[in-house]
Amino acid sequence: MNFTVTKAQNLQKEKQPLTDILKVLENKYNISFSFADSTIKNKNVALPASNLNLEDALNFLKIETTLDFEILDERFVVIKVIENTTVPIKTQRLEEVTVTNYLTTGIVKLNDGTTTIKPEIFGILPGLIEPDILQTIQALPGVLSIDETVSNINIRGGTHDQNLFLWDGIKMYQSGHFFGLISAFNPYTTKQVNVSKNGTSAKYGDGISSVIDMQLSNKIDNTFKAGAGFNLINADAYAKIPLSNKTELQLATRRSITDLIVTPTYNQYYKRIFQDSDLTNTLDDSYSISQNEDFYFYDITAKFLYDITKKDKIRIHFLNVNNALKYDEQSTINDNNEALKSNLSQKNLATGMTYTREWSDRLVTNGQVYISRYNLYATNFDILNNQRLIQENEVKDGSVKLDVNYKATQNIKINSGYQFSEIGISNLEDVNNPIFRSYIKEVVRSHAIYAETSILSNNAYSNLKIGTRFNYHEKFSMFLFEPRLSFSQRFFNYFRLEIQGEFKSQTTSQIIDLQNDFLGIEKRRWILSNNETVPVIKSKQVSAGIHFNKNNLLLSAETYLKYVDGITTRSQGFQNQYQFVNAIGSYQIKGIDLLLNKQFNQVISSWIGYSFSKNEYTFDTLNNKESFPNNADIRHALTVASTYTYNNFKVALGLNWHSGKPATNPITGDEIVDDAINFEAPNSSRLRDYLRADCSATYGFEVSKKTNAIIGASIWNITNKKNIINSYYTIDDQNLVTKVENLSLGITPNVSFRLQF
């Protein structure tokens, strides 16, 4: 033992044969390296710092030797030659990784504040048996969904439309299947997801609350991979198909089985989504909505990769996301039966092409052009009133981007570029009785240039990223300056200080005209800023955090302040005295996120996360200009969870609690004044606290030498807790105030089976 320590001290001072270094690391980390003698021949390197964990030490060796170190399991590491070593590997720098296996395997925290999720090696989280992208990010501090959906994710108090969703660089306007209960993005073709809450890179516009950047595999490795599986909601299949040494095709498709078989999971999803909608409302015995609804969803993903030369590459992207619902509305009048079919369709179609040119080891350029189209369409029949209502919301987004990456030195990187976008959004309402038609379309063309510099200290302890984005909106002759900052400083070996800040803006937002729009299922519609009644939304944010990471123990504390101006009451979904008011205002949120995460021998990972925040509106024309709680003001949120992994068996158990959502009640004893509900001060009350426990388990086994299988089971809301996620009031036919409460998912089981080839 003394010999090993002495040898390590000497090796750390100077470069030695890689074979000697590997022997030291095998003793230190209790691992075994596998390699061909020719692979490490004539390789010399210094010993990695003694305070590094295994993955950081291997990343260090990867940079110093230009070799690839692949961890097969807890004991074995394979050393291979990196293909096409002329491609710069700064993107694999040791200093970029702060915490690996953050909460669970496949989640990595970087020192610029970004969290990266890698579905391919994703472990397990409570309630999830498959790597649902948008459910997974809700495990991160400061991220939650008040109504449990992936179409209403609140990040640091923002609304869902204030998040920028990018799929292979293309902006997406639809994020969910089953009208919000399932992510619309197939995880089995997604290589990684980068989530940024502040200090965002200058190349990103829009998304004043966050950027969720989903990236597909971009490398041709001439290896065939495929898989297929199903659960109690949908079935899917994917394939990565080499067509030649220079071409590859990636395909994936997923479709619901809900129109073929009714499962317990579907029944619970049905109750959750369609409650308080036209589909479930029954007026009287003579008029009803039949239960023979026809509902399904699907998505299709395709990517074509073509390496023209070693330096020139083309990528073609395609994604089609679709949700469709049809159902009958029936009535019996004067003994005559009448039935008409209402329907709702929601889809997002995206296509694009990217060209990459590697001019040298230092200079790489990327050019992309894309079109993203979103359409929400509904036909609603009211037989009693002989009325037909058609509603449509359409978005057409076209963009051209040029991105330049230049490595000035080993420690300095420069990123710059230009983006042009043209976004057109239209809204249609057409009623036949009485005849009424409204069609509104807005178009905004925007230009943006950006530049950013990343500087890394020689000892990799200091990391500074500073940049700015200049936006120009033609229609308003508006010029916006948006600086971005991300600074990280490591000290005392195990501590890290993180400071971030940003200015951002966006011209798109979602509003609710009436709560029963689009059959009461998809109430939100996209609109564009007109710089008058709908301003350009602007935000300012600053945050600071301290992180301690040693011996698989992570302690993290981050505080932030965010101010957002230019929001409208219609975008906030009020269901009180401000439901039909059009006003412009702002919100400010102050908060702190705390996390304690302990991992035991790569077998158990346990964590406790707590968030406190105070989120308040200010509207100059409302509430006597006094601030009042934001609709997304969740003061306290707590998560307690643990995962256990043994060989191919994984299990997770977790508890989620948060304080009640703000609510507005009628004044007791004086509920109705002038035929309208007489409300108390806005958001002066609270719903009951929310509490949910989840569990999940998976087991992987080998079917044959080339085929593996995974079975899984999960239970969402184990205790069947009746959580109220929203409440509002209406006036009934007897001129009495009626309270309506929307409930969360009840106990929801799910099982899955997958094959991987």
* CA–CA distance, 323 with 625 (Å, rounded to integer): 42
| pLDDT score recorded for residue 461 | 84
| pLDDT score recorded for residue 437 | 96
Strand, coil or helix: 733:
coil
- Counted domains in the chain: 2
* 628-629 vs 636-646, strand pairing mode: unpaired
> Are 327 and 342 contacting, i.e. CB atoms less than 8 angstroms apart?
yes
Domain membership of residue 92 (yes or no) is no
Domain membership of residue 160 (yes or no) is no
The one-letter amino acid at 668: T
* 97-99 vs 107-110, strand pairing mode: antiparallel
Q: Which two tokens stand for residue 94?
A: 């040791």
> Are 634 and 687 contacting, i.e. CB atoms less than 8 angstroms apart?
no
* CA–CA distance, 265 with 317 (Å, rounded to integer): 32
Residue 512 DSSP label: -
Domain membership of residue 144 (yes or no) is no
Alpha carbons within 13 angstroms on the beta-carbon side of residue 64 total 20
| pLDDT score recorded for residue 112 | 81
Domain membership of residue 275 (yes or no) is yes
| Dihedral sign from CA coordinates of 564, 199, 595, 131 | positive
| pLDDT score recorded for residue 92 | 39
* 604-619 vs 628-629, strand pairing mode: antiparallel
Indicate the residue among 53, 82, 111 that finishes a domain. 82
Q: Which two tokens stand for residue 572?
A: 């906030």
**Per-residue CA distances from 655 to 63, 120, 638 (Å):** 41, 25, 8
Strand, coil or helix: 272:
helix
CA nearest to 302, candidates 355, 244, 240: 240
* 724-731 vs 737-743, strand pairing mode: antiparallel
| pLDDT score recorded for residue 728 | 94
Count of Cβ atoms closer than 10 Å to residue 503 Cβ: 17
What length does the chain have?
Answer: 757
To the nearest 5 percent, what fractions of the chain are helix, strand and coil? 10, 55, 35
The domain that holds 547 is classified in CATH as: 2.40.170.20
Q: How far is CA 363 from the centre of its chain?
A: 30
Q: What are phi and psi of 39, to 5 degrees?
A: -70, -40
* CA–CA distance, 629 with 608 (Å, rounded to integer): 26
* CA–CA distance, 168 with 318 (Å, rounded to integer): 10
The domain that holds 54 is classified in CATH as: 3.55.50.30
Strand runs labelled E in 433-524: 435-456, 462-473, 478-491, 495-506, 508-511
The crossing angle, in degrees rounded to 10, of helices 2-11 and 18-29 is 130
| pLDDT score recorded for residue 6 | 36
Domain membership of residue 201 (yes or no) is no
| pLDDT score recorded for residue 281 | 65
Indicate the residue among 82, 112, 142 that finishes a domain. 82
Helix (H) or strand (E) holding 351: strand 336-358
Which residues of the chain have a pLDDT value below 50?
1-13, 84-89, 91-95
Q: Which two tokens stand for residue 261?
A: 């078989």
> Are 571 and 594 contacting, i.e. CB atoms less than 8 angstroms apart?
no
Strand runs labelled E in 13-132: 16-17, 32-34, 44-45, 67-71, 76-81, 97-99, 107-110, 115-117
Indicate the residue among 82, 111, 126 that finishes a domain. 82
In which domain, by residue range, is 313 found?
225-756
Q: Which two tokens stand for residue 732?
A: 């009934």
Domain membership of residue 328 (yes or no) is yes
**Per-residue CA distances from 654 to 223, 638, 646, 714 (Å):** 37, 11, 18, 12
> Are 300 and 318 contacting, i.e. CB atoms less than 8 angstroms apart?
yes
Count of Cβ atoms closer than 10 Å to residue 88 Cβ: 16
* CA–CA distance, 138 with 142 (Å, rounded to integer): 8
CA nearest to 519, candidates 408, 630, 661, 376: 376
| Dihedral sign from CA coordinates of 622, 579, 634, 559 | negative
Domain membership of residue 187 (yes or no) is no
> Are 643 and 125 contacting, i.e. CB atoms less than 8 angstroms apart?
yes
| pLDDT score recorded for residue 283 | 53
Q: How buried is residue 287: exposed, middle or buried, by Cβ count under 10 Å (0-12/13-18/19+)?
A: middle
Number of H helices, E strands in the chain: 6, 48
CA nearest to 281, candidates 329, 219, 221: 329
Domain membership of residue 41 (yes or no) is yes
Strand, coil or helix: 145:
coil
| pLDDT score recorded for residue 75 | 64
